[in-house]
């Protein structure tokens, strides 16, 4: 940033930008205020949602063209006064996320925006057509249809890439309201600005910065919503069929005996990368690692993993080689306290056993990776997800533990060639993604669902026969 | 020197617009409510355990602080014992009004004619000062039933302009709080209220309304109702719950620019009276409320621990004194907090702003609901 003026994030509503009088400060990793976000009141949200309700959806080909334009704008234009470099620097400094991960996230959002329609087709049932004019509808087919018109997004601020997901709703013809994270509102603000500039109307996509109480109004007035949050959010919305909760991943890696990690050093790298990529704060960063072969084997692996993770540089987030998450010192200390409380009887392993907080001298601190050894795969810490590289390693036995400790997992990378074991894992519905082989847990592809396809939630099949 | 009864009555019975010295009022009220032949049975009984002599020791408005907060005792007292004997065997009881029951069993108090008329007259004055013309018709979405709000609004509208039509939609605060407290949404209930209000708004010639902020917020979700309010309503009174200043600004500048928004604070335990928004405030000023039935009902903002006034501009516990011929309830610590503001010249006590509920009251979590 070349100017001392604070970046201002305003609502983008049905009548354009709206400057709420209450400006909430947005701070960087040193605690310094670098931006302000204006929080809109309940009736503003009500009117914005009413505008979406009455809005019109542009025809498909126009939407696809606008999405391609928006993708280009998001990647390279100056939007809301910020060029791409300024934007990425700001996100890095505010979220404490390494700049390289932020740049990668920009590329991901650009790619997912440009091909949002095509990506969504992966979720379309084999018997469904996308419009009644499709020749296949003559003899009867399924018509792939929206389950509603207005989609609400209660976003998270832990990683800008979360905003790559909801673009599919626009591609599928939804009008979309996005409630940004108050900690990192820049990514959705930039994305909504790009979409608006590309031609999406003020009655097609809105940005509604609000507090939590008001965001409930947005969710209530949307037909369908996705909500990011912790266990409390999942509990609150879990039973609501109109809400798709995006909660903790409790992502895991299983190292079966035949993976032979001692002879494959790259497997330690794979686990370390799965833990630390993008600062380790995502739901697809590995949390629990199960090692077959007894307590000694688990200890040996935990030590090797801790050694590998200890090589990650302690540096400012805007440095090209930064990986570790950075927070204000007080926040970093609070996370360490939380870690100690969660860890309880688990045994800390490696160089960070004493402290994970590495102060950077400017009021900020990097969180160094934590590796703990658990006595058994049944220990509750195995699924304790914390927003930095934090891995719980436990011994695992096929006969004694089986699939039980692997239940409730967003992504499981299983290193094994044992078909019977893979069969059991593939059968376990509560493991949402099973990656067999050397695939990092954070790996994603539009063809591979993330806790099911979003489009599967957004769309349904109706019957169509069109002999006209 | 104790007042003789005639002097006390002269002070208590002056006209509704007469200037009354607050200290004289307090002395007259002590003589009335604690006099053996005129007194209020509840207070006559309670005097024995006060530890001071109210007639001799309570000489000024400031001395009202000597009283303990007896509000909780009004949950189970016989209502007849709250009617001063001085009104004789056939007192003109307008109604028995009850608190919302937000913080436990409801409190019950009698509303006697003198105060009902006084309050209506003062509120009518507020409406006249706001420029409301004769023939103003109202939509009032407020608690009726055992609560006093709706009936009081009706009396005030009539006192302001005889012939005013007041269309009521009953809002049952206890049911709302039951729903909200059980973690159930109140959405369906608010929809029910708005469905009823729609008939009035769309069909009747109303130009003023009374509503709570949560219900108003929900009303703005409906295009037809919002449009009707925009076209018809020129004076909108809100109260009963807090309004986010950001929402107030948005209503005033964007959604309802042609209506005057005006806040009221009323508490059942002062027989519905409290404060009215100071006219002519701009958006950047705090939403100041002046006591509208002063010096009979006065407001103080104090430190919850010490009972001492907080500095102007700071938030504290709201304490309300009601001192009239009809009723006496000094030192009622409300379930609300407020910012303390300097009063207008000639007022005793404080002006207030930003009334907001306490998180907890008497150990019971407060559920604000929609009222």
Q: Contact at 8 Å (CB) between B109 and B96? A: yes
H-helix segments, chain B: 5-12, 22-34, 41-46, 54-57, 113-129, 149-160, 173-181, 187-203, 213-219, 223-232, 245-250
A chain contacts of residue B251, beta-carbon cutoff 8 Å: 43
pLDDT at A186: 98
Phi and psi angles of residue A289, each rounded to the nearest 5 degrees, phi first? -120, 125
Residues B120 and B14 in one domain: no
- Does residue B283 lie in a domain region? yes
Cross-chain Cβ contact A41/B250 below 8 Å: yes
- Does residue B226 lie in a domain region? yes
Q: Contact at 8 Å (CB) between B240 and B302? A: no
Per-residue b or e along A306-320, where b marks 16 or more CB atoms closer than 10 Å to that residue's CB: bebbeebeebbbbee
| Pick from A287, A282, A275: nearest CA to A409 | A287
| Pick from A363, A364, A384: nearest CA to A324 | A364
| Angle between helix A60-76 and helix A186-197 axes, rounded to 10 deg | 130
pLDDT at B363: 47
**B247 and chain A in contact, CB less than 8 A:** yes
Which of A11, A43, A55 should one mutate to test binding to chain B, selecting the residue with the greatest count of B CBs within 10 A? A43
Which two three-digit tokens encode residue A199?
Answer: 């031609």
* B371: pLDDT strictly greater than 60: no
Residues B197 and B253 in one domain: yes
Q: Contact at 8 Å (CB) between B272 and B320? A: no
User: For residues B275 and B352, what is the distance between their CA atoms, to the nearest angstrom?
Assistant: 8
Strand partners, A386: none
CA angle B130–B134–B135, rounded 5-degree value: 120
B chain contacts of residue A42, beta-carbon cutoff 8 Å: 217, 244, 247
Cross-chain Cβ contact A46/B216 below 8 Å: no
Residues B116 and B188 in one domain: yes
Domain A7-247 is found in CATH 3.40.605.10: yes
> What would the DSSP string read from start to end of B111-178?
EEHHHHHHHHHHHHHHHHHTTPPTT--EEEEE--TTSSHHHHHHHHHHHHSTT--EEEEE--HHHHHH
Choose among A39, A47, A54: nearest Cβ to B220.
Answer: A47
pLDDT at B369: 54
The conformation of residue A137, written as its DSSP 8-state character, comes to G
Choose among A21, A47, A49: nearest Cβ to B249.
Answer: A21
User: For residues A40 and B149, what is the distance between their CA atoms, to the nearest angstrom?
Assistant: 31
pLDDT at A468: 66
**B246 and chain A in contact, CB less than 8 A:** yes
Number of domains observed in the structure of chain B:
2
Interface A-B, measured as beta-carbon pairs within 8 A, has a size of 42
Number of neighbours of residue B227 by Cβ within 10 angstroms: 12
The nearest CA of chain B is from the CA of A21 a distance in Å of 7
Distance of CA A101 to the CA centre of its chain: 13
- Does residue B199 lie in a domain region? yes
Give the residue from chain B lying closest to A39, CA to CA. Answer: B246
Which two three-digit tokens encode residue A465?
Answer: 């026969």
Residue with tokens 């095509």: A118
The secondary structure of A347-403, three-state, reads EEECCCCCCCEEECCCCEEEECCEEEECCCCCCHHHHCCCCCCEEEEEEECCCCCCC
Which two three-digit tokens encode residue B88?
Answer: 């004789």
Q: Over range B193-216, report the average pLDDT.
A: 97
**B358 and chain A in contact, CB less than 8 A:** no
Residue at a domain's end among B60, B95, B110: B110
Cross-chain Cβ contact B216/A43 below 8 Å: yes
Choose among A22, A46, A49: nearest Cβ to B246.
Answer: A22
Q: What is the CATH number of the domain that holds B329?
A: 3.40.50.12780
User: For residues A124 and A456, what is the distance between their CA atoms, to the nearest angstrom?
Assistant: 8
| Pick from B200, B183, B101: nearest CA to B141 | B200
User: For residues B33 and B86, what is the distance between their CA atoms, to the nearest angstrom?
Assistant: 9
Residues 294-323 of B with CB under 8 A from A: none
Residues 252-281 of B with CB under 8 A from A: 254-255
Which two three-digit tokens encode residue B106?
Answer: 């409801």
pTM of structure: 0.92
B chain contacts of residue A39, beta-carbon cutoff 8 Å: 246
pLDDT at A2: 40
Residues B87 and B224 in one domain: no
Cross-chain Cβ contact B250/A44 below 8 Å: yes
**B283 and chain A in contact, CB less than 8 A:** yes
Residues B175 and B312 in one domain: yes
Q: Which domain holds residue B316?
A: 112-365
Choose among B217, B226, B246: nearest Cβ to A39.
Answer: B246
User: For residues A427 and A386, what is the distance between their CA atoms, to the nearest angstrom?
Assistant: 28
Cross-chain Cβ contact B244/A50 below 8 Å: no
Q: Which residues in chain A show pLDDT less than 70?
A: 1-4, 468
The conformation of residue B219, written as its DSSP 8-state character, comes to H
Residues B67 and B173 in one domain: no
Residue at a domain's end among B94, B110, B126: B110
Residue at a domain's end among B110, B125, B150: B110
Choose among B223, B247, B283: nearest Cβ to A43.
Answer: B247
Q: Over range B147-163, report the average pLDDT.
A: 95
pLDDT at B89: 96
Distance of CA B58 to the CA centre of its chain: 25
In Å, what is the CA distance from A429 to each residue of A238, A408, A455?
Answer: 17, 9, 19
The nearest CA of chain B is from the CA of A461 a distance in Å of 30
Distance of CA A290 to the CA centre of its chain: 24
The nearest CA of chain B is from the CA of A227 a distance in Å of 18
B chain contacts of residue A40, beta-carbon cutoff 8 Å: 246, 250
CA angle B96–B102–B107, rounded 5-degree value: 30
Q: Contact at 8 Å (CB) between B152 and B158? A: no
Give the residue from chain B lying closest to A222, CA to CA. Answer: B221
pLDDT at A236: 83
- Sign of the alpha-carbon dihedral angle for B291, B292, B294, B296: negative
Cross-chain Cβ contact A43/B187 below 8 Å: no
- Does residue B371 lie in a domain region? no
Instruction: Give the CB-side neighbour count of residue A61, counting CA atoms within 13 A.
Output: 0
User: For residues A121 and A115, what is the distance between their CA atoms, to the nearest angstrom?
Assistant: 10
- Distance between terminal CA atoms of chain A? 60
Distance of CA B70 to the CA centre of its chain: 18
Residues 86-115 of B with CB under 8 A from A: none
pLDDT at A3: 45
Residue with tokens 């703990």: A372
- Does residue B238 lie in a domain region? yes
pLDDT at A328: 97
Q: Contact at 8 Å (CB) between B247 and B215? A: no
CATH topology of domain A252-436: Aldehyde Dehydrogenase; Chain A, domain 2 (3.40.309)
- Sign of the alpha-carbon dihedral angle for B55, B60, B63, B64: positive
**Radius of gyration (Cα) for chain A, nearest Å?**
23
Cross-chain Cβ contact A43/B283 below 8 Å: no
* B368: pLDDT strictly greater than 70: no
Cross-chain Cβ contact A22/B245 below 8 Å: yes
User: For residues B363 and A77, what is the distance between their CA atoms, to the nearest angstrom?
Assistant: 56
- Does residue B12 lie in a domain region? yes
pLDDT band at B359 (very low <50, low <70, confident <90, very high): low
The nearest CA of chain A is from the CA of B282 a distance in Å of 14
Choose among A43, A54, A217: nearest Cβ to B250.
Answer: A43
User: For residues B254 and B283, what is the distance between their CA atoms, to the nearest angstrom?
Assistant: 13
Distance of CA B364 to the CA centre of its chain: 22
Higher pLDDT, B67 or B284: B67
In Å, what is the CA distance from A24 to each residue of A246, B163, B339?
Answer: 25, 49, 21
Cross-chain Cβ contact A54/B220 below 8 Å: no
pLDDT at A160: 96
A chain contacts of residue B220, beta-carbon cutoff 8 Å: 43, 46-47
B chain contacts of residue A20, beta-carbon cutoff 8 Å: 246
Residues B123 and B100 in one domain: no
pLDDT at A73: 98
**B180 and chain A in contact, CB less than 8 A:** no
- Does residue B370 lie in a domain region? no
A chain contacts of residue B283, beta-carbon cutoff 8 Å: 21
In Å, what is the CA distance from A6 to each residue of A17, A27, A32, A82, B335?
Answer: 17, 11, 11, 12, 40
B chain contacts of residue A217, beta-carbon cutoff 8 Å: 217
Cross-chain Cβ contact A46/B217 below 8 Å: yes
Which of A11, A42, A209 should one mutate to test binding to chain B, selecting the residue with the greatest count of B CBs within 10 A? A42
Report strand pairing: B166-170 vs B235-238: unpaired
User: For residues A293 and A302, what is the distance between their CA atoms, to the nearest angstrom?
Assistant: 13
List residues of A whose CB lies inside 8 A of any B CB: 20-22, 39-44, 46-47, 49-50, 54, 217, 220-221
Residues B178 and B121 in one domain: yes
Q: Which residues, 6 or more positions from A315, have their beta carbon under 8 angstroms from its beta carbon?
A: A321, A322, A324, A360, A366
Give the residue from chain B lying closest to A47, CA to CA. Answer: B221
**B230 and chain A in contact, CB less than 8 A:** no
Residue with tokens 């609501």: A240
Q: Contact at 8 Å (CB) between A390 and A280? A: yes
Residues B13 and B58 in one domain: yes
Q: Over range B59-84, report the average pLDDT.
A: 96
User: For residues B21 and B60, what is the distance between their CA atoms, to the nearest angstrom?
Assistant: 10
Enumerate the CATH 3.40.309.10 domain ranges in chain A, comma separated: 252-436
Which two three-digit tokens encode residue A382?
Answer: 């195995």
pLDDT at A4: 56
**B144 and chain A in contact, CB less than 8 A:** no
3-class secondary structure, B9: helix
| pLDDT tens digits, A138-154 | 999 999 999 999 999 99
Per-residue b or e along A209-221, where b marks 16 or more CB atoms closer than 10 Å to that residue's CB: bbbeebbbbbbbb
- Distance between terminal CA atoms of chain B? 45
Residues B138 and B215 in one domain: yes
Total residues found in chain A within this entry = 468
């Amino acid at each position: 940033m070349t100017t001392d003026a604070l970046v201002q994030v305003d609502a983008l509503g049905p009548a354009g930008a709206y400057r709420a009088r209450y400006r909430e400060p947005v701070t960087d990793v040193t605690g310094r205020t670098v931006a302000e976000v204006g929080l809109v009141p309940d009736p503003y949200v009500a009117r914005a949602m009413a505008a979406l309700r009455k809005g019109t959806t542009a025809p498909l080909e126009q939407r696809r063209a606008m999405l391609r334009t928006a993708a280009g704008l998001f990647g390279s234009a100056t939007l809301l006064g910020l060029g791409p470099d300024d934007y990425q620097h700001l996100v890095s400094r505010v979220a404490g996320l390494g700049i390289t991960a932020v740049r990668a996230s920009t590329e991901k959002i650009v790619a997912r925006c440009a091909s949002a329609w095509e990506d969504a087709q992966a979720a379309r049932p084999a018997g469904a057509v996308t419009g009644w004019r499709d020749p296949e509808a003559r003899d009867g087919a399924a018509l792939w249809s929206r389950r509603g018109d207005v989609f609400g997004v209660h976003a998270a601020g832990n990683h800008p890439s979360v905003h790559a997901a909801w673009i599919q709703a626009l591609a599928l013809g939804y009008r979309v309201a996005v409630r940004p994270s108050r900690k990192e509102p820049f990514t959705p603000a930039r994305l909504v600005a790009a979409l608006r500039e590309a031609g999406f109307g003020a009655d097609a996509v809105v940005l509604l910065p609000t507090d939590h109480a008001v965001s409930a109004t947005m969710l209530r007035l949307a037909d369908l919503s996705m909500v990011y949050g912790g266990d409390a959010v999942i509990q609150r919305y879990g039973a609501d069929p109109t809400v798709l909760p995006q909660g903790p991943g409790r992502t895991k890696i299983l190292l079966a005996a035949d993976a032979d990690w001692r002879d494959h050093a790259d497997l330690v790298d794979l686990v370390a990368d799965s833990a630390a990529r993008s600062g380790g704060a995502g739901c697809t960063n590995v949390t629990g690692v199960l090692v077959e072969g007894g307590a000694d084997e688990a200890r040996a692996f935990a030590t090797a993993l801790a050694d590998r993770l200890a090589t990650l540089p302690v540096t400012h987030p805007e440095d090209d080689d930064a990986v570790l998450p950075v927070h204000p010192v007080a926040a970093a200390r609070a996370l360490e306290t939380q870690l100690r409380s969660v860890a309880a009887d688990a045994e800390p392993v490696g160089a960070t056993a004493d402290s994970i907080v590495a102060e950077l001298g400017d009021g900020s601190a990097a969180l160094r990776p934590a590796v703990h050894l658990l006595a058994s795969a049944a220990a509750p810490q195995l699924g304790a997800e914390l927003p930095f590289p934090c891995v719980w390693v436990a011994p695992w036995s096929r006969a004694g533990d089986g699939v039980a400790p692997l239940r409730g997992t967003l992504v499981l990378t299983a290193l094994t060639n044992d078909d019977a074991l893979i069969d059991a894992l593939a059968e376990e519905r509560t493991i949402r993604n099973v990656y067999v082989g050397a695939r990092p847990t954070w790996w994603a592809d539009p063809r591979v669902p993330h806790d099911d396809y979003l489009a599967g939630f957004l769309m349904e099949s109706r019957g169509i026969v069109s002999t006209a | 020197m104790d007042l003789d009864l005639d002097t006390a009555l002269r002070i208590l019975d002056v006209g509704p617009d007469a200037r009354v010295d607050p200290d004289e009022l307090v002395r007259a009220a002590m003589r009335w409510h604690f006099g053996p032949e005129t007194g209020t049975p509840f207070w006559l009984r309670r005097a024995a355990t006060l530890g001071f002599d109210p007639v001799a020791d309570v000489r000024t408005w400031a001395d009202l602080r000597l009283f303990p907060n007896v509000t909780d005792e009004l949950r189970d007292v016989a209502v007849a014992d709250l009617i001063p004997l001085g009104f004789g065997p056939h007192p003109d009881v307008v109604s028995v009004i009850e608190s919302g029951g937000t913080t436990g069993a409801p409190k019950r108090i009698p509303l006697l004619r003198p105060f009902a008329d006084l309050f209506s007259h003062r509120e009518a004055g507020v409406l006249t000062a706001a420029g409301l013309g004769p023939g103003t018709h109202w939509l009032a979405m407020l608690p009726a039933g055992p609560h006093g709000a709706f009936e009081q609004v009706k009396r005030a509208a009539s006192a302001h302009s005889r012939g005013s039509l007041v269309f009521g939609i009953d809002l049952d605060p206890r049911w709302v709080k039951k729903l909200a407290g059980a973690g159930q949404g109140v959405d369906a209930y608010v929809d029910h209220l708005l469905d009823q209000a729609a008939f009035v708004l769309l069909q009747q010639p109303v130009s003023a309304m009374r509503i709570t902020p949560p219900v108003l917020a929900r009303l703005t979700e409906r295009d037809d109702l919002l449009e009707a309010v925009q076209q018809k309503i020129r004076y909108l009174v809100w109260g009963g719950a807090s309004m986010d200043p950001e929402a107030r600004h948005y209503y005033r500048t964007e959604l309802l620019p042609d209506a005057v928004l005006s806040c009221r604070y009323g508490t059942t335990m002062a027989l519905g009276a409290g404060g009215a928004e100071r006219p002519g405030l701009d958006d950047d000023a705090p939403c100041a409320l002046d006591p509208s039935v002063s010096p009979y009902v006065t407001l103080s903002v104090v430190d919850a621990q010490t009972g001492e006034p907080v500095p102007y501009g700071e938030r504290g516990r709201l304490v309300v004194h009601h001192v009239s011929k009809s009723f006496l309830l000094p030192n009622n610590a409300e379930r609300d907090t407020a910012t303390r503001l300097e009063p207008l010249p000639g007022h005793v006590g404080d002006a207030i702003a930003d009334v907001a509920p306490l998180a907890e009251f008497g150990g019971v979590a407060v559920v604000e609901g929609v009222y």
